Structure 1
């Protein structure tokens, strides 16, 4: 599972950042320091009805010690429509409420090199990206920050980000320029080997991945994180999964993932993001042909069909046997 060691925290502050985005500050009941974290890290919030949702930790200051044993965690949450329960629960929290969380983990780290960095955030994807901007500013590393959204008034934390980044920040509001942010054009303009970190909606991420391949970028040059899980497809069918270790068989319905079915059955598979972009739930495929929907494996690895991410990927054959 993602992390079994939980912490109970109290909501100490709630603030509306935009009509759909609110920030929440969480702390221990008696103010003791919290576990440290690095830019790109997230915590999982346990939902009352079961399950959890991941939210990136936010730092809006140029402070090298912002994530070191902090007194509180700050989150930004967008109310989704329709909501699967996570954002609705988070938007219903008020000061004094308690939440159960897992300590920070990080699948989207800022690499410790000195090359120039380009940061791209789309909408609520700003939450991990702004923490990277804070760290880069504190370390006096060169960077540029592109923040895109439909309307300027929908861009959360804009005042703080302007103060933090100054002339390093470029704002793109779709309604002001008459179109979506062109991440492909940006990537094509980067000639100095800059590493690009991107968090945003699925179309932005998929465009960036395709552009990186077209431009011949080395695999680690583009780093990204999704902020939403992939939705089931209309043509998804059920299939059988067999665990090699026990011989147990599970039927995977069209509207659930392999991971979800195994968790419901009381199994304890490793996982974290549930979006196909962290690689923690990866398993070996012994029989059958996986239907890859992750953003981790290379094209060659997908074609080989020997590994899969059980949080999002499905099966092209009626039966899969996995090494679990």
Structure 2
């Protein structure tokens, strides 16, 4: 059920900051690569020897710095940026320590859960490494000669990557912010009050930043359909999570999902081939039909009507309610 794979050769790895590596990937076979739309990402498979948790596939947004380039056409290369997370699941540490020019990595072709619908006056917000898909959106809007505002924020100025090239490409549209600088610190509420709810918002970065943007924007009159976001963190266990049992209707097999693991992880560990991508509950790829049981929905993909019907769930993030078990139509 997984997408076909695409072998890519690492052309170079360079440091964008002390925490971020920029990786250029080209076809291992010397051919052109599939085009992509702004906001798209690829998945890179890490070797079993990387000894990472949470599966061996990692998603990285594709970066286009060139406003003259139509990324929908066949590509000569892909650019991705990986921030080192010392307390993460191990994937970024493996990249920073082991990726080098000449290596071939297995990838999945571009996919997009964060689609740009070009519109004059779009508001682009990038936080930390979440700026990567936003850069491609800014390039596309500039190519189409659409006006936009691009705000890029980080904990301090030294953690803002690519600032020289961004200034050269988007001068007048780009606004840089640093949390430790009162003069430039991003005030989301103040920023949104200077914009109109008819202007679509695209935001990517830390969960707190995204949640604040959504809450403030909705309070100021933005429609949910005009607030677009992508998370760069995967689902984690919550305090109070309990194990629960799940049964597969087709085979009668029963598994226990531990408190510190997702349904998706448990199904995979037991040989169930699942389709998935974001692992954060917003892309919808890991939807599974539910025949019985009460669902603790934690995703942002399904609608309130879906929640009320209770016959589908996102396996990467949602669970059974405490005291319930689930029967899946798998």
Q: Which residue of 1 aligns with 2:67?
A: 62
Q: Secondary structure at the match of 1:167?
A: coil
Q: Which residue of 2 aligns with 1:175?
A: 180
Task: Write out aligned runs for 1:139-154 (5 A).
Answer: 139-154=144-159
- Whether the 8 Å CA contact 1:276–1:294 is kept in 2: the answer is yes
If the length of structure 1 is used for normalisation, what is the TM-score?
0.93
Q: Secondary structure at the match of 1:170?
A: strand
**Structure 1 counterpart of 2:116, from 78, 92, 110:** 110
Quote the offset at 1:180 in angstroms: 5.5
Quote the offset at 1:103 in angstroms: 0.7
**Structure 2 counterpart of 1:293, from 294, 298, 303:** 298
Q: Number of paired residues?
A: 322
Q: Secondary structure at the match of 2:141?
A: helix
Q: Which residue of 2 aligns with 1:74?
A: 79
Q: Which residue of 2 aligns with 1:318?
A: 324
Distance 1:151 1:268 in 2: 42
Task: Write out aligned runs for 1:195-214 (5 A).
Answer: 195-214=200-219
Cα RMSD, aligned residues only: 1.9
Q: Secondary structure at the match of 2:301?
A: coil
Distance 1:246 1:56 in 2: 38
Quote the offset at 1:218 in angstroms: 2.0
Q: Secondary structure at the match of 1:148?
A: strand
Quote the offset at 1:203 in angstroms: 0.5
Deviations 1:231-250 (A, max 9, x none): 21232111011223333222
Tell me if 1:100 matches 2:100.
Answer: no
Task: Write out aligned runs for 1:249-260 (5 A).
Answer: 249-260=254-265
- Whether the 8 Å CA contact 1:283–1:309 is kept in 2: the answer is yes
Residue 314 and residue 192 in structure 1: after superposition, are their counterparts in 2 closer, same or farther (change >3 A)?
closer
Q: Secondary structure at the match of 1:177?
A: coil
Residue 30 and residue 287 in structure 1: after superposition, are their counterparts in 2 closer, same or farther (change >3 A)?
closer
- Whether the 8 Å CA contact 1:64–1:139 is kept in 2: the answer is no
Residue 100 and residue 116 in structure 1: after superposition, are their counterparts in 2 closer, same or farther (change >3 A)?
same
- Whether the 8 Å CA contact 1:2–1:272 is kept in 2: the answer is no
Deviations 1:228-281 (A, max 9, x none): 112212321110112233332221011211111111222122211111111111
Quote the offset at 1:301 in angstroms: 4.1
Distance 2:238 2:159 in 1: 29
Deviations 1:72-97 (A, max 9, x none): 11000000021312101211211111
Distance 1:297 1:206 in 2: 17
**Structure 2 counterpart of 1:156, from 156, 161, 171:** 161
Tell me if 1:165 matches 2:170.
Answer: yes
Show structure 1 runs of 5+ residues with no match. Answer: none
Distance 1:135 1:201 in 2: 23
Residue 97 and residue 252 in structure 1: after superposition, are their counterparts in 2 closer, same or farther (change >3 A)?
same
Q: Which residue of 2 aligns with 1:7?
A: 6
Deviations 1:125-161 (A, max 9, x none): 0110000001110110111100010111101111111
Deviates more, 1:242-251 or 1:136-145: 242-251
- Whether the 8 Å CA contact 2:86–2:93 is kept in 1: the answer is no
Residue 191 and residue 33 in structure 1: after superposition, are their counterparts in 2 closer, same or farther (change >3 A)?
same
Q: Which residue of 1 aligns with 2:33?
A: 34
- Whether the 8 Å CA contact 2:197–2:222 is kept in 1: the answer is no
Show structure 2 runs of 5+ residues with no match. Answer: 49-54
Residue 189 and residue 311 in structure 1: after superposition, are their counterparts in 2 closer, same or farther (change >3 A)?
same
Residue 12 and residue 189 in structure 1: after superposition, are their counterparts in 2 closer, same or farther (change >3 A)?
same
If the length of structure 2 is used for normalisation, what is the TM-score?
0.91
